[in-house]
Structure 1
Amino acid sequence: MRIWRELGYTVTVPLMAALGLAHLLVVLVGVLASTYVVGLPLLAGCVVAARRLSAANRALARTLAGTDVPAPAPYRPGRGLLGRLGAALGDVAGWRAIIHAVVRLPAAALAFAAAAGTWGLGLVLLACPLWWQVPGVPGPSGWAGALLLAVTGAGLLFLAPWAVHAALLPERMLVRTLLGPAPSQARIRTLEETRALAVEDAAAALRRVERDLHDGTAARLTALAMALSMAKEELDAAAGGDLERLDHARALVDGAHRGAKETLSELTDLIRGIHPPALDKGLEVALATLAARSPLPVDLDAELSARPSPAVETIAFFCTAELLANVAKHSGARQAAIRLRAEDGRLRLRVWDDGEGGAVVADGAPVGGGAGGSGLRGLVDRVRVVDGELAVHSPAGGPTVVCVDLPLRA
């Protein structure tokens, strides 16, 4: 249970703080000795060792305090003695762990004091009726005083979980701030992930287009060419007045005509999947087209003070199309609504429905409509390509609200 895990964390925090303080003393010795060249290796070793202490603190925070903090970028030693020494002394994550060992002392003391003052004192007061008449042990005068102290102890024990949870807030904040990736490293990691997603998305789109053209359009065009060739042979044979061959040729031409129309329809759908023609007239018009085609009544409220870039418009369009499709298939909703605004350099899209709700988060991505599909996972990846965010609020019984936040320019 969370209560006992947090209580265990308040007990281990002072021990880890004491270990960090001991390590800090060694660091100070290394700083003082660094005025001589022989002290630099000691200081460098202390900075690298601080990473191990940081990893232990993150593991405790994740296991006991429920605070999951990503690890910073791995340590990369340089080449040669001077390279290794410079890499260690310049390790930002190691120095941040050392700073954490300094500033966490008041937070650790606060958490331990809260646990001792509520759990410890509460248990002592609750046991007053057991020890107030023990010879040689001072206690309250009479049963009334003992019972009053016992009630006070019960009240402290009742408030203890909330008091400990609140007292751990500074400790949690310090763990998130100092033991995770530095802001610059987190930004670099995000950019690397979004670049990889963009490359994968582009490759997947090319494979999809190639597969659709090869398996669909190319096969139909091949069949069309064969039908026209056979029709030509039948027409040549019917030139002598063979009406049966002429009827056969006419049937082949009719079949080729139907095949041409079907191929054209497939090409139109394929082109629409790459870039919807409705976006040529603006995102508001494209969303109005989606709302009109939806099997459910959709209320559209779209006002854009500035037009987004084409890439952002395309992402917003496909997000809306996928979300409306999920509403129609899985949510059991009777109506839906779309709200679109451009504010503070961001494009904010909200899709609402009055369905059964129950959206959950699976594998780090929301899965909507209670159906557990993978469509929204693809939307999360698509949105992250342009440094956007997708959030889902879907309590059991509904309604479901999906908010997409994108930059106006990508």
Structure 2
Amino acid sequence: MDKWRAAVTAPVEARAWRELGYALTMPLMAGAGLVYLLVVLLCGLMAANIVGLPLLALSVRGARGLGAANRGLARALTGVRVPAPAPFRSEPGLLNRMMAALGEVAGWRAIIHSLVRLPAAVLAFAVAAGLWGGGLFLLVSPPWWPAVVAGPVLLVLAPWGVRLALVPELKLVRTLLGPAPGTARIQALERTRALAVDDAAAALRRIERDLHDGTAARLVTLAMSLGMAQEELAEAHEPDRLERARSLVDSAHRTAKETLTELRDLIHGIHPPALDKGLEIAVATLAARSPLPVELDTDLPERPSPAVESIAFYCTAELLANVAKHSGARRASVEVRSRNGRLRLLVFDDGHGGAAMDHETGTGLRGLADRVHMVDGHLDLRSPAGGPTMISIDLPLHV
């Protein structure tokens, strides 16, 4: 029923009108692109002299603006968001700027888009004009039963036809007006490196804080207790002084044991000892300690690298803790498998769902996603309201 209602109401939806506007605007943008292409070609023919080469560089440099306009139009009217290419960079000096502009990949890609988009623009315009225009014409034509039927049918089909006809153009926008594949990979690596640096800095700050506020304070207390006991023993001529010294030594002994426990916990936080025996044993330990029944399924013919094991372990620990605290689930399951050089971790629970990764309600999951991205992994969350929740993490087996 909902599908039929959506089909009938599609012609009056705002999205349909925006896509119609995009289809009708495309020939104008394509024409502007062709004019710009002619300018580039003219500058290229003149490039043999001292004037033509700078003009060609300016034309290629300016093509970024044309690409930005096309990206903005696609985003405003179709909702397709294409990231901007990397900023233009060059060494100081007029000659360096000119040579950098001539080698501007983003500018040349925008020029290529202007050249190859014309067939896609003609297709989208023809479909929009045929379906919308034909439907409106038949709707207002003199009463004739084929027109009375065909007009509304064309208007109902028009939004879906235009949406389908825009697929080639939007594919070109994503392919040619965004970052080049190599550039996108470099940007992803730069973000990953930044996340790794931030994560390492946060870990160091946490260790420093734990040592300063916990272990160091206990060691100071231990030293003071031992000093006071030493003073008492030096003048221990009375039974009450001996008893006081014995009490101070006992207190120092307890402090020493508590300090050792804190140090052991701190060391375990840096590298869980359960991982010494492999990820399968470590995950089994987490499942056994969970307050909820956890079904475990592991299959790791090849052991992952230590960094991947550590990330998978901490993700499993955090996700099982979230299940126990927030999901209201009665049971959970954990699956860890490796195939074709990738490790896949799947955590499922039958709780009430609604988990999110936004910065306001899902900071824990966002932190896990950032940790996974550091090794070129991916976290996928499926948690509809009412449940269940399934979180899958894909990691490289070796880094």
Q: Answer whether TM exceeds 0.5 for this pair.
A: yes
Aligned-partner Cα distance in 2 for 1:268–1:106 = 68
Aligned-partner Cα distance in 1 for 2:253–2:129 = 86
Query: Which residues in structure 2 correspond to 1:229-240 (within 5 Å)?
Result: 229-238=227-236, 240=237
Q: Answer yes or no: is the 8 Å Cα contact 2:357–2:366 preserved in 1.
A: no
Q: Is the aligned partner of 1:384 residue 2:361?
A: no
Aligned-partner Cα distance in 1 for 2:16–2:257 = 67
Q: Is the aligned partner of 1:246 residue 2:218?
A: no
- In the alignment, which of 237, 241, 262 is matched to residue 266 of structure 1? 262
Give SS of 1:355's match: coil
1:341 positional shift: 1.1
- In the alignment, which of 60, 74, 90 is matched to residue 73 of structure 2? 60
1:396 positional shift: 1.6
Aligned-partner Cα distance in 1 for 2:270–2:206 = 10
Aligned-partner Cα distance in 2 for 1:150–1:261 = 90
Q: Answer yes or no: is the 8 Å Cα contact 1:78–1:86 preserved in 2.
A: no
Aligned-partner Cα distance in 1 for 2:71–2:57 = 22
Identity, in percent, stands at: 67
Aligned-partner Cα distance in 2 for 1:259–1:173 = 67
Aligned-partner Cα distance in 1 for 2:357–2:275 = 31
1:91 positional shift: 0.7
- Equivalent position amino acid for 1:153 in 2: G
1:185 positional shift: 0.7
| Structure 1: gaps of 5 or more residues | 133-142
The equivalent residue for 2:363 is 374
1:210 positional shift: 0.8
Q: How many pairs were matched up?
A: 386
1:37 positional shift: 4.2
1:361 positional shift: 4.0
Q: Answer yes or no: is the 8 Å Cα contact 1:283–1:313 preserved in 2.
A: yes
Aligned-partner Cα distance in 2 for 1:31–1:119 = 42
* Superposed CA offset, 1:372-401 (max 9, x none): 141112112211211111111112211111
Q: Answer yes or no: is the 8 Å Cα contact 2:71–2:177 preserved in 1.
A: yes
The equivalent residue for 1:298 is 294
1:78 positional shift: 4.2
Q: Which is further off, 324-333 or 49-58?
A: 324-333
Q: Is the aligned partner of 1:90 residue 2:103?
A: yes
| Structure 2: gaps of 5 or more residues | 1-13
TM-score, normalized by length of structure 1?
0.90
The equivalent residue for 2:147 is 149
Q: Answer yes or no: is the 8 Å Cα contact 1:340–1:349 preserved in 2.
A: yes
Query: Which residues in structure 2 correspond to 1:48-127 (within 5 Å)?
Result: 48-127=61-140
Q: Answer yes or no: is the 8 Å Cα contact 2:356–2:362 preserved in 1.
A: no
Alignment CA distance shift 1:209-1:228 (3 Å): same
Aligned-partner Cα distance in 2 for 1:37–1:150 = 66
Q: Which is further off, 255-264 or 64-73?
A: 255-264
1:80 positional shift: 3.2
The equivalent residue for 2:390 is 401
* Superposed CA offset, 1:101-146 (max 9, x none): 1111111112212221222211221222xxx2xxxxxxxxxx4x2x
1:73 positional shift: 1.0
- In the alignment, which of 163, 166, 169 is matched to residue 168 of structure 1? 166
1:15 positional shift: 1.4
Alignment CA distance shift 1:199-1:361 (3 Å): closer
Aligned-partner Cα distance in 1 for 2:128–2:324 = 51
* Superposed CA offset, 1:145-187 (max 9, x none): 2x43122111121122221211111111111100001011111
The equivalent residue for 1:312 is 308
Q: Which is further off, 94-103 or 109-118?
A: 109-118
Q: Answer yes or no: is the 8 Å Cα contact 2:137–2:151 preserved in 1.
A: yes
The equivalent residue for 2:4 is none
Q: Which is further off, 101-110 or 260-269?
A: 260-269
Q: Which is further off, 277-286 or 262-271?
A: 262-271
Q: Answer yes or no: is the 8 Å Cα contact 1:227–1:256 preserved in 2.
A: yes
Give SS of 1:351's match: strand
TM-score, normalized by length of structure 2?
0.92
Q: Is the aligned partner of 1:279 residue 2:275?
A: yes
Aligned-partner Cα distance in 2 for 1:204–1:308 = 25
Give SS of 2:119's match: helix
